[in-house]
Structure 1
Amino acid sequence: MRLPLFLGLLLAASTAWGQARRVVVAADGSGDFRTVQAAFDAVPAGNADWFTIVIKPGTYKEKLTLAKEKTHVRLVGEDATRTILTFDDYNQRIDPATSKNFGTTGSASVHLYANDFAAENITFENSAGPVGQAVAAWVAGDRSSFRHCRFLGFQDTLYTFGFGSRQLYDDCYIEGTVDFIFGSSTAWFENCHVVGKTGGFFTAASTPDTTRYGYVFHRCRLDGAAPASTFYLGRPWRPYAKTVFLECQLGALVRPEGWDEWGKESNKQTAYYAEYQSSGPGANPSARAPWSHQLTKVEARTYTQAAVLRGWQPPK
C-alpha cells in the first residue's frame, strides 16, 4: 500500500531523526498549530532532543523568531515551492514599535537565533521587492543546516549572521541582487543554484580575522537574468573576508575580474578570494583580479566539508 506523501514525511521524521517530538502546522487548522510561530513557541526552552515541525503546503505570512534557547528544531516541508515562509519588511520601513527604521537585521522575515537548527523543503522569502536591504533569513545559530530550501529576495537575501557559527546549505536555491549572501559565519554551499537577478555582487563576507574559513561554494551553479559581465563573485564587507569557489559553473553574468575590493585598497591585502577549476562562460582565470587566487589541486584538497565546518557533521 502506498502511503500518502505527507504521512510519509511524518514517518521519515521519526525514523531518521529518532523518536523526537513532532507537530504539524497547517493554516487550515488540520494540524496542531495554524502558524509557524506558534509551533516555535511550543518548543521547550533548553530543548535537547530534535523537535520536528512539519509544515503543510501553503504561504505563511509571518515575521518569525526562533529564540536562542529553543535548540534542536527541525522544519520539514513537503515541497519548497509550495511551503513558503514570507514577510515584507525592509531596512527603511518604520518599525511601529520604535518609530525608527527596521534596519537590515530588523528587516528579516525569519530570525534564527538557536543552535542546532535544520530545515528541509522550505522557502524563506522577503517579498518587499527592490527597496534596498530586505533580508529573507537571518541565521545566527551554530550548526544550522538547510537542505532543498529556497531563499528569495533582492538585496541582502541571506544573512549568515553568526560570528564563528557553522552553516550548511545543500542543494538550495538562492537569489538576489546586491550582496545577497553576506555575513560573518563559516558556511559551506553544496550543489546550490545561485541566481543573480540584476547586476550586483553574489557575496559580501565579513569573516573575522580569527576565523580560517568563510564561504566555500562546492559544485554550485551561478547564473541568472542579469546582463553579461554585471556580477562580481564577491566583495569584502569586512577586511578579512574569505570566499572560495570550488568546481563551480559560472554564467556569462560574472565579470572578468571576478572580485571587487569595495573601494578600499587595503582590502586587497587582507581579503582572501579564490577559485578552483571554475567552468562556464564566466570562468576567466587569466582576467581575474591579480590579488585573487587560483588554487592548485593540492591547495583545493584542503577544502573539505569536514575541515571547513570544523568537524561538525550535519544531520540528514
Structure 2
Amino acid sequence: MNHNKRPAFDPTIAPEQGLTKDGQPLSYNRAPAPDLAPWIARLYVTKVAAPDGYTLSCGLFNDTACVRIQLAGAWTAETATGHEEFGQAALFFGPQSKRMPVTVTGSFISVGVSLRPGACTALRGPKLSDFIDRLIPTTAVAMPSDKVLSMLPPDGMPEDWLQTLESLIRRRVEHMEGALPDPVAARFEEITFSDPGMSVSEAAQLCGVERRKLERVANRDFGMSPKQVMRRARALDMASHLRGVADSDEGEEMALRYYDESHLIHEFTALFGMSPRQFVKAPQPILTLALESRQARRLEALKRIAPGAARPWE
C-alpha cells in the first residue's frame, strides 16, 4: 500500500484557520500558558463554515480527556452509553479507546481544552476508567454547563475563549493547592510520544517503577492498560501520517512499529473501524483536526519544534 497517497478532503466545508499543504483542515490550537502545563495538554478552536443543512459524518479519537464547548452546529455522537444529540453545550469527554462516530449539521464552532494524563486524578475530577468512550455535561464534573457557555459568547475572539478556559482550570488548580499529576503518568505519556512500539516492561523500566505499578498508574490516569495506551498511540501516529498531519520524515518509522502490512491493517481497522486505505480515501475533517492538534503537541513535547513554531505539514 502506498502510505504517501494524498488524503481525500471535503470541498464543501471551509475552515476559518485554513488548510495544510494537502488540503486538510486546520484549527487554531496551542500549548497552555506555562503555569498550566502540568495539567493542560492542548487548547483548540475550530470554526468551520458549511452550507445550511449540510451534515458532515466523521469521527473523534482522542487520547486524553477533553472539555469541549460546542458554540454552534447540531451534533450527534455514538458513545459507549448510546446515541447523544446536542446543540450548544459544554461537555466532558473521557479518553477514547477507538474512533467515536460523530456528525455535525451546519456551520460549527468547537472550543476545547484537553487534559494531561493524571490531571483528573490530581484535580479530583472524574475517574477516567468510568468515562472511556463517553461524554457528559460539564455540570457533572463541577463546571456548570450554563455558566461555562455564558463565558464564551459565540461572536467572541478565539484567543479570548482559550484564555477563559485557562482561567477556569487555573481556579481549579488553585483550589486544589497546585496538586500535581503523578510523575510516572507524565513520563509514560512522553514514552507514548517517542516510542510507542516498546514493550510495557521496557516502559516501566524507563519510568523507574515495576510493571505492576505502571499498570496501576495507567489504569487510573489514562483509564486503560499500558498496552492499550501504546497500541492507541501507534495507531494515532499512523493515522496522522495517513492524513498528512505528521512530520513526513517519521512516516517510515511509524509504519515499522507494525510487524507487517497485515498487522497494520488488523490493528488500524480494530481502532478506526476502517482499513488504512479506506481511511485515506474518505474525507475525515473533524478527526484530522484532532490528529493535527495531537501531533503539534507531540512534536512540542519531544522538543522537535518550539511552541507556536511552524509545523512540518503547514
Q: By percentage of residues, which structure has more strand?
A: 1
Class of the TM-score when normalised by the shorter of the 2 chains: under 0.3
TM-score with structure 1 setting the length:
0.25
Greater helix proportion: 2
- Looking at CA atoms only, which structure, 1 or 2, has the larger radius of gyration? 1
When normalised by structure 2's length, the TM-score is 0.25
